[in-house]
Amino acid sequence: MTEFVSLSVDAGVGTIRIDRPPMNALNRQIQGELLEAAREASARADVRAVVVYGGEKNFAAGADVKEMASMSYSDMAPVSRDLSAGLGAISTILKPTVAAVTGYALGGGLEVALGADRRIAGDNAKLGFPEILLGIFPGGGGTQRAARLIGPSRTKDLVYTGRMVDAQEALAIGLVDEVVPADEVYDRAVAYASRFTSGPALAYAAAKKAIDGGLDTDLRTGLDIESDLFAGVFASDDAKAGMASFVENGPGKATFTGR
């Protein structure tokens, strides 16, 4: 059993819930529990899409500074990659993922959200990388995922200044994808994730690998990755069923099994 992170499943949507009140500070224990939850969500056939959620008040207000304050270089060096893996755990789930962001998503909290495929924010959300104000910088994937998402210039502005952006600015710069009233965030995220619960799971996984893998390399290599993964989905039952249904009945009427 995990103490602060849980996985619940309803109608194909798995919810990874971070619950360490009042601010969901992401200590090393939570980082490990996020990895466990991500592995479980990846392995379970009844989980077809995932929402990561910190509750009605806050998503997560960063790593646990009290835990890190006494750490030296020799303390951090052996565990820095573990921190990155834990805060980036959501990105390893080869299923559609959505971050439901309310209140603060700062530092490590924003890094967790950046690991999702889509971010739906409440109108009360505050996002940012305040680490520079502590004399450090984002070390859980933030400098890499944010730069790929919103570009290096905007990322440097957030990292260098340590400022918070509200939901509307986050939407304008592409840090989040949608803004809704705060009390509707979780339901909206579940509704979006539910669109994929009866879809072709192997095709989703392959598409995610192609997109994310291509971002990490040059165009020619990315095209090769895409081609190999594209050929691979033709071995799936869903590809056969989907194309047969299209030929016989037109688009959007196939029944997929996830195999």
Known catalytic residue: 88? no
Is the model more confident about 253 or about 159?
159
Known catalytic residue: 226? no
Q: What strands, in cross-sheet order, belong to the sheet with 49-53?
A: 5-10, 13-18, 49-53, 97-101, 118-122, 178-180
**104-134 pLDDT per residue, tens:** 999 999 999 999 999 999 999 999 999 999 9
Per the residue annotation, which of 61, 63, 146, 167 is the catalytic one? 63
Per the residue annotation, which of 54, 111, 206, 210 is the catalytic one? 111
Q: Which CATH number describes the domain made up of 5-194?
A: 3.90.226.10
Q: Is a pLDDT exceeding 90 seen at residue 3?
A: yes
Per the residue annotation, which of 131, 141, 203, 258 is the catalytic one? 131
User: What does the pLDDT read at residue 64?
Assistant: 87
Known catalytic residue: 63? yes
Angle at 42 between CA 38 and CA 48, to 5 degrees: 115
User: What does the pLDDT read at residue 93?
Assistant: 98
Domain boundaries, the chain: 5-194, 201-249
User: What does the pLDDT read at residue 182?
Assistant: 97
Local confidence band at 1 (pLDDT 50, 70, 90 cut-offs)? low
User: What does the pLDDT read at residue 2?
Assistant: 86
Per the residue annotation, which of 108, 140, 141, 199 is the catalytic one? 108
CATH 1.25.40 is the classification of domain 201-249: no
Q: What strands, in cross-sheet order, belong to the sheet with 164-166?
A: 104-106, 126-128, 164-166
* Average pLDDT score, the chain: 96
pTM here is 0.95
Q: Residue 96 contacts by C-beta under 8 Å, 6 or more apart in sequence?
A: 48, 49, 50, 117, 118, 193, 196, 204, 208
Known catalytic residue: 36? no
